[in-house]
């Protein structure tokens, strides 16, 4: 039996690594694959109808033999739908014409069809000339583009006039080389990271959510670390180690298991409606009844998550302090150091790696929390960023966007779930990467401190 335990432990580690690899592989393929320009098909049905779109997946037909293909056809302004199920045995012919165009536009979403003409104030271009004029116009910012209209034709022959200033991007994937597709993919990834959302969060990017997530975690860390470290120092170094101190430790550890939504309710009642409403009455009475601090915002969200992660910081820091040998403390006092000097110059530097471990645990939990943020400040779409060039530059009373909530909203509240699924995977991958980067930064600092301490010894 004693020989079996190492194998069980090794199998558990291997299974955990395989599950993690499977998760990352799923997020990478489904998330980053969304930005790759997929081949567009022109499909002729046995009824004579012609449709064009991107083949998404095949599934068995219900209640009979055969399979059906799901196509993303776009063109919601023409037939009111973006998707089309087609029985494969009803397909008479398939093709991939090089002239099929996919346009990303507002407000109707993608168009898939053919570009018939490019009309400006001075000329009308058709064929390849129209395509070259369109790509040249889209290379300019929206405000600098010429006034023009595109004449579009769907695969079924329906004509449509599309203003140029409502188009974000255009490409002909069937005519693109591998290098052109790679460049288009990299541009799509960059726009996803650098632009704001559009089309009810089913298009555009997530930059405001990235900024809001990182800023909230930083503000939360600045708030929670001093209180958590001071509380741990008091419990381990100053307080009498009696029954009351043991009860406090038990309470702190139990608080770490309280559901996060409870902290959200507490933050809403105490921070938003209690403190925030009082601040409005004292300092912002001229703006009432429109609240300034009496509504959710960055400050209240950061304070709520600071309370949520405070037990984690206290426990991790106290465990680090408990591992420091008493001989270190006694030696410092014997050499004439005061109690304060012993704590600040001997104990705390030795406990710094444990404090950074506490930061890692706090960041990992806070960055992924969604439930409490829904009550104390997160927004589906924040018109103003919490940081700008107006004094005091950091506006903690403003609402903000968060990747976790953006992920939840896109997955469950979007008007088109099929369109939102790839963006859900991409946002989830981005959230994992941000948490990983923040944790790796703290881990690097922890190892750096340990290395410096080893050299000083």
> Which token pair is 26?
């799923």
φ/ψ of residue 409, rounded to 5: -65, -40
Average pLDDT over residues 283-292: 83
pLDDT over 90 at 50, yes or no: yes
Q: Residue 384: what pLDDT?
A: 78
**Segment (H or E) for 160:** strand 159-163
The range of the structural domain enclosing residue 344 comes to 207-456
Q: Residue 325: what pLDDT?
A: 86
Taking the C-alpha atoms of residue 288 and residue 30, their distance in angstroms, rounded to an integer, is: 47
> Which token pair is 372?
């409490």
pLDDT over 70 at 2, yes or no: no
pLDDT over 80 at 323, yes or no: yes
Task: Please indicate, yes or no, whether residues 76 and 174 belong to a single structural domain of this protein.
Answer: no
- Please list, residue by residue across 307-335, b when 16 or more beta carbons sit within 10 angstroms of its beta carbon and e when fewer do: bbbbbbbbbbbbebbeebeeeebeebeee
Taking the C-alpha atoms of residue 252 and residue 310, their distance in angstroms, rounded to an integer, is: 9
Q: Residue 172: what pLDDT?
A: 95
Task: Please indicate, yes or no, whether residues 316 and 410 belong to a single structural domain of this protein.
Answer: yes
Task: Please indicate, yes or no, whether residues 366 and 436 belong to a single structural domain of this protein.
Answer: yes
Q: Residue 134: what pLDDT?
A: 92
User: What is the DSSP secondary-structure string of 109-149?
Assistant: --EEEEEEEEEESS-EEETHHHHHHHHHHHTS-GGGSPPEE
> Which token pair is 292?
């300034």
In 3D space, the residue among 28, 18, 19 whose CA is nearest the CA of residue 432 turns out to be 28
The total number of structural domains in the chain stands at 3
Average pLDDT over residues 88-110: 91
Task: Please indicate, yes or no, whether residues 61 and 127 belong to a single structural domain of this protein.
Answer: no
Taking the C-alpha atoms of residue 415 and residue 200, their distance in angstroms, rounded to an integer, is: 7
Average pLDDT over residues 9-15: 90
Alpha carbon distances (Å) from 130 to 117, 138, 188: 6, 12, 23
Average pLDDT over residues 368-375: 88
Task: Please indicate, yes or no, whether residues 133 and 259 belong to a single structural domain of this protein.
Answer: no
pLDDT over 70 at 104, yes or no: yes
Burial group, residue 375, by CB count within 10 angstroms (0-12, 13-18, 19+): buried
Q: How remote is the C-alpha of 278 from its chain's centroid? A: 33
**Segment (H or E) for 45:** strand 41-45
Q: Residue 98: what pLDDT?
A: 93
Domain end: 30, 65, 95, which one?
A: 95
Banded pLDDT at 351 (limits 50, 70, 90): confident
Q: Residue 264: what pLDDT?
A: 92
Residue 342 domain flag:
yes
Q: Residue 453: what pLDDT?
A: 63
Task: Please indicate, yes or no, whether residues 155 and 283 belong to a single structural domain of this protein.
Answer: no
Residue 195 domain flag:
no
Banded pLDDT at 1 (limits 50, 70, 90): low
Residues 271 and 182 sit within 8 Å (Cβ to Cβ): no
Residue 29 domain flag:
no
Residue 202 domain flag:
no
| Sign, Cα dihedral of 312, 318, 324, 328 | positive
Residues 233 and 321 sit within 8 Å (Cβ to Cβ): yes
- Give pLDDT tens digits for 138-149: 888 877 788 899
Q: Residue 456: what pLDDT?
A: 56
Task: Please indicate, yes or no, whether residues 328 and 215 belong to a single structural domain of this protein.
Answer: yes
Looking at the DSSP bridge assignments, the partners of residue 387 are: 394
Burial group, residue 285, by CB count within 10 angstroms (0-12, 13-18, 19+): exposed
Taking the C-alpha atoms of residue 34 and residue 47, their distance in angstroms, rounded to an integer, is: 32
> Which token pair is 338?
């005061």
Q: Residue 342: what pLDDT?
A: 87
| Sign, Cα dihedral of 373, 375, 381, 385 | negative
pLDDT over 70 at 35, yes or no: yes
> Count of residues for the chain?
457
Residues 205 and 192 sit within 8 Å (Cβ to Cβ): yes
Region of 389 (left: φ > 0; alpha: ψ -120 to 50; beta: rest) is: alpha
Q: Strand, coil or helix: what is 197? A: strand
> Which token pair is 454?
């080893």
- Give pLDDT tens digits for 145-179: 888 999 999 999 999 999 998 999 999 999 999 99
Triad 18, 21, 23: Cα angle to 5°: 110
φ/ψ of residue 113, rounded to 5: 175, -140
Average pLDDT over residues 296-307: 92
Q: Residue 94: what pLDDT?
A: 92
Task: Please indicate, yes or no, whether residues 296 and 177 belong to a single structural domain of this protein.
Answer: no
Task: Please indicate, yes or no, whether residues 322 and 254 belong to a single structural domain of this protein.
Answer: yes
Minimum mean pLDDT among 37-41, 67-71, 222-226, 344-348: which range? 344-348
pTM comes to 0.86
Task: Please indicate, yes or no, whether residues 251 and 376 belong to a single structural domain of this protein.
Answer: yes
Residue 18 domain flag:
no
Residues 26 and 421 sit within 8 Å (Cβ to Cβ): no
């Amino acid at each position: 039996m004693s020989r079996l335990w190492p194998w069980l432990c090794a199998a558990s580690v291997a299974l955990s690594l395989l599950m993690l690899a499977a998760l990352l592989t799923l997020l990478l393929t489904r998330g980053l694959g969304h930005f790759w320009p997929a081949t567009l098909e022109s499909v002729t049905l046995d009824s004579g109808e012609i449709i064009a779109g991107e083949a998404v997946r095949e599934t068995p037909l219900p209640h009979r033999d055969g399979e059906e293909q799901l196509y993303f056809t776009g063109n919601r302004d023409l037939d009111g739908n973006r998707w089309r199920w087609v029985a494969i045995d009803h397909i008479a012919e398939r093709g991939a014409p090089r002239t099929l165009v996919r346009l990303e536009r507002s407000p109707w979403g993608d168009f898939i069809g053919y570009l018939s003409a490019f009309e400006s104030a001075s000329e009308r271009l058709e064929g390849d000339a129209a395509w070259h004029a369109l790509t040249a116009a889209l290379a300019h910012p929206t405000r600098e583009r010429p006034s023009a209209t595109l004449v579009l034709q769907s695969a079924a022959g329906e004509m449509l006039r599309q203003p140029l200033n409502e188009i974000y991007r255009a490409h002909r994937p069937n005519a693109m080389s591998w290098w052109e597709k790679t460049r288009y993919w990299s541009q799509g990834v960059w726009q996803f990271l650098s632009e704001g959302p559009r089309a009810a969060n089913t298009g555009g990017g997530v930059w405001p959510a990235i900024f809001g997530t990182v800023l909230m975690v930083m503000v939360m860390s600045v708030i929670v670390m001093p209180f958590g470290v001071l509380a741990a120092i008091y419990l381990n170094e100053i307080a009498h180690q009696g029954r009351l101190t043991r009860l406090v430790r038990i309470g702190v550890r139990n608080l770490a298991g309280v559901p996060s939504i409870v902290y959200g309710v507490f933050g809403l009642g105490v921070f938003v409606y209690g403190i925030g409403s009082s601040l409005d009455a004292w300092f912002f009475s001229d703006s009432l009844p429109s609240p300034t601090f009496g509504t959710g915002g960055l400050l209240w969200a950061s304070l709520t998550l600071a309370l949520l992660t405070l037990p984690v910081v206290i426990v991790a820091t106290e465990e680090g302090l408990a591992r420091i040998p008493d001989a270190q403390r006694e030696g410092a006092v014997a050499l004439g150091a005061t109690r304060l000097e012993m704590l600040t110059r001997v104990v705390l530097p030795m406990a710094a790696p444990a404090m950074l471990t506490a930061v890692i645990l706090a960041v990992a939990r806070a960055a992924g929390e969604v439930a409490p943020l829904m009550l104390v400040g997160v927004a589906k779409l924040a018109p103003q960023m919490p940081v700008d060039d107006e004094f005091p530059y950091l506006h903690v009373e403003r609402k903000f966007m968060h990747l976790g909530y953006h992920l939840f909203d896109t997955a469950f509240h979007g008007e088109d779930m099929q369109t939102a699924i790839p963006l859900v995977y991409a946002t989830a991958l981005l959230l994992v990467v941000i948490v990983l980067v923040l944790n790796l930064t703290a881990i690097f600092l922890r190892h750096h401190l340990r290395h410096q301490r080893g050299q000083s010894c």
